[in-house]
Homo-oligomer: A and B are copies of this chain.
Amino acid sequence: MAESPRRAAGRRLQLPLLCLFLQGATAILFAVFVRYNHETDAALWHRGNHSNADNEFYFRYPSFQDVHAMVFVGFGFLMAFLQRYGFSSMGFTFLLAAFALQWSTLVQGFLHSFHGGHIHVGVESMINADFCAGAVLISFGAVLGKTGPAQLLLMALLEVVLFGINEFVLLSLLGVRDAGGSMTIHTFGAYFGLVLSRVLYRPQLEKSKHRLGSVYHSDLFAMIGTIFLWIFWPSFNSAPTMLGDGQHRTALNTYYSLTASTLSTFALSALVGVDGQLDMVHIQNAALAGGVVVGTSGEMMLTPFGALAAGFLAGTVSTLGYKFFTPILESKFKVQDTCGVHNLHGMPGVLGALLGVLVAGLATHEAYGDGLEGVFPLIAEGQRSTTSQAIHQLFGLFVTLMFASVGGGLGGLLLRLSFLDSPQDSQCYEDQIYWEVPGVHEDEARGPLKVEEPDTQA
């Protein structure tokens, strides 16, 4: 349906006004509520009797930086595989994550570190905010190319709140363990995005199908994302775990799991490929499933063999999902999952949660020794049996699926508000709606040679 140029131009004000409003609002809330914690505040830190080497910064900041690289480099480039949507993939990742970091500092702060009327921040809040941004970007992957930036900011506004509440229910109320976020990040982010994508279902999307694919170089850009996610995933899962053996073991388990998911992804991709050819989509995505699947159990005494087995299973399930389940998801369930987040985050996240149930249920005092307190404090304190912990873990998965589904549904209804700027069916997966785009070849380059105005009226 055609739209007047004037109205189109009016809609274009949504993004800047929303950015300014959201930034103003978080700034005011920061002014009122957010304060340095005792490790970042000059007066508070020096009041204590401790060495500078004790500052949490030195235990967690290197891992934080790796997580930060994953969120911005990893997710950003991984989604840049589309031939004409690289600017949007990178740019909107950047925008969404930057907003989510501020907003989740507030939401998580109110729920987790609100003392004396103030939120206290330090390196742990930085890590947690990055985790929340990761969940938002997972959801972004499900609707990539079919939503405008103002819509995406509204999605983030809602999702961050629900992420925070779900995380609070699991970790604080239910005593669930989920350091690397198989449930709180991957399962939540994936199903929130998938349900949202279902609500935004576009029956006429085949109009844009010619842009829904990669070109040779865009696949190499996407590999930047894949490899940075892969190498830093041990830091992702271990960033928030207990110090000492906890971080060490989590990193090790994740490292092994990823090697196994890589091998199973190559094996399965070649097995199901035409003429035994490998598919870049599988390599870029399914090889990462090993990181997702040990998000819950990575800090536990999973054993190195357990990590390999888990990673192998996750890579297998994820590759088969890309090959066989994604088409069904669209044709039968009307879920258009651009990046296949169901395969990379959804199924491996659920598997990871179930693996956590299993490993928690098998925990023994002998295996953990005095380290039990760090991994399962409620069991160590005698408040819970291992079976009870396992049941709580399972219930945590259920709660997460509920929050994600209801939240994704609400989000979808919010994003369908008719006044919101949204790309038309024929203009999905296309940078030119939102960006000044230079040519692909030199003679079409940006600069003095002005590109033609994008046709925003269908």
Contact = CB atoms under 8 A, between A and B. Distances in A.
A33 to B, nearest CB: 9
A57 interface: yes
Given A61-B251, A66-B65, A83-B445, A256 B102 contact: yes
Contacts of A234: 65
Interface in A89-134: 90-91, 94-95, 98-99, 101-102, 121-123, 126
Interface in A374-393: 374-375
A412 interface: no
Contacts of A55: 243-245, 247-248
B213 A446 contact: yes
Contacts of A165: none
B210 A40 contact: no
A402 interface: no
Given A36-B304, A304-B34, A23 B264 contact: yes
A270 B15 contact: yes
Interface stretch (A178-186, A324-332, A339-347, A361-369): A361-369
A230 interface: yes
B270 A44 contact: no
A301 interface: yes
Contacts of A251: 57, 61, 123, 126
A252 interface: yes
A22 B440 contact: no
Interface residues of A, number: 152
Interface in A260-282: 260, 262-264, 266-268, 270-271, 273-280
Grouping DSSP codes into helix (H, G, I), strand (E, B) and loop, the A interface class, with mixed when no group exceeds half, is helix
A317 interface: no
Interface in A1-56: 8-9, 11-13, 15-17, 19-20, 22-23, 26-27, 30-31, 34-36, 39-47, 52-56
Copies in the complex: 3
A171 interface: no
Interface stretch (A189-197, A350-358, A403-411, A431-439): A431-439
Contacts of A19: 263-264, 266-267, 270
Given A73-B228, A275-B12, A27 B95 contact: no
Contacts of A303: 31, 35-36
B448 A210 contact: yes
B259 A98 contact: yes
A210 to B, nearest CB: 6
Interface string A423-458: 000000000001111111110111111000110100
Contacts of A224: 73, 77, 224
B61 A276 contact: no
A439 B22 CA distance: 41
A141 interface: no
A431 B453 CA distance: 30
Given A52-B244, A91-B278, A98-B258, A86 B209 contact: no
- Of A52, A80, A266, A448, most buried by chain B (CB within 10 Å of CB) is A266
A200 interface: no
A15 B265 CA distance: 11
B214 A438 contact: yes
A203 B444 CA distance: 25
A442 B83 contact: yes
A215 interface: yes
A45 B83 contact: no
Given A30-B308, A305-B34, A244 B45 contact: yes
A26 B435 CA distance: 47
Given A122-B248, A231-B68, A441 B442 contact: no
Contacts of A161: none
Contacts of A44: 245, 369
A249 interface: yes
A42 B375 contact: yes
Nearest to A375: B42
A94 B262 contact: yes
15 contacts: A22-B263, A23-B308, A40-B248, A41-B245, A41-B301, A42-B249, A42-B372, A45-B245, A76-B227, A87-B219, A87-B220, A94-B227, A123-B252, A216-B438, A217-B440
